[in-house]
Amino acid sequence: MGKAGLSLSGPSLIIYAIIYGFSQDGVTACRCHLSYFQEWADVCERTARSIISDLVRAGYIRRIALGEGRGALVEYRANLEIASKAQKGAKFAPINKGANNSEKGAKSCTKGGKICRQDNNIIIYKNIFFQAREDSLATEKGRKEEIYKLFFFKNSTSPNVEVEEFYRVNVLNDWKDGKGARMDTSMSKLLAWADGWNLKSGSNRTNSYFLNAWREIYNDTITRFDPMAKRLLDPRIKCNSDSQQVLITAPKPLVSWLEKYLVEGNNRIADVMRAFCRGRKLMYNLLES
């Protein structure tokens, strides 16, 4: 995506690009944590917060809190209408202080022990992940993986089977809807179509409250490029719970990975699991890899 029309550069461009990269399909949201923006843009917490606030005020992105309190999950979405106008050559005025300070290279801060280097000469626009994602979605395999993920978190009893059935039925129908109109098979439309699909295999694979927590863990993991992210989508993962304990069924390597974060304690994954367990004893039913 060409972003010259948005008058962004330096850290503000990087943070905008991250959010745009995740939400450009019109369906997916960016749920990256502030520390993620800090690391990629090479700025301190104060500057990252300021840039995000300025992007919101300018209307380039939308910020949505998915809960209440300081630790509530936040998601960001790019304003695709403005992005589309920028791609077509429309010009927008520079945003306010958060981005301008970083673009001018006028100062640095060390709040929280992070040196905020505000020099455009050292900023590299990191788009490898986003290009790889676009390349993946251009293939049928990549599209099926995205639909699988959607069915997984809709609690499909058998998401693999569900994906194949979704394709089988729609290929037979030549990708036409109930009124005979041919379906737009762009990724965003395809996901919207799949989201309204009536699950043939049922939707009772596991505890829905656990699945909501697991989605937060998956979102945190994938934004850190952790190779374990894909294993979090193993359909054998299940959870049974009562007032005394939480029993998670999962492959051994995944349990070892999860326990590492729980032992460390000071991280998003541990926070999510703590909130889900609510003091109940956490136990595992180990599966072979």
- Residue 3 pLDDT class (50, 70, 90 cuts): very low
Within 10 angstroms of residue 156's Cβ, the number of other Cβ atoms is 23
CA angle 63, 265, 152 (to 5 degrees): 55
Instruction: Give CA–CA dist 213/275, Å, rounded.
Output: 9
Residue 96 has pLDDT above 90, yes or no: no
Residue 118: predicted pLDDT: 41
CA angle 194, 198, 200 (to 5 degrees): 110
- Residue 111 pLDDT class (50, 70, 90 cuts): very low
Residues whose CB falls within 8 Å of the CB of residue 235, separated by 6 or more in sequence, listed in order: 152, 158, 159, 160, 205
Residue 91 has pLDDT above 70, yes or no: no
pTM: 0.57
Over residues 4-10, the mean pLDDT reads 68
What are the phi and psi torsion angles at 79 (to 5°)?
-80, 100
- Residue 117 pLDDT class (50, 70, 90 cuts): very low
- Residue 170 pLDDT class (50, 70, 90 cuts): confident
Give the residue, 190 or 241, on which the prediction is more confident: 241
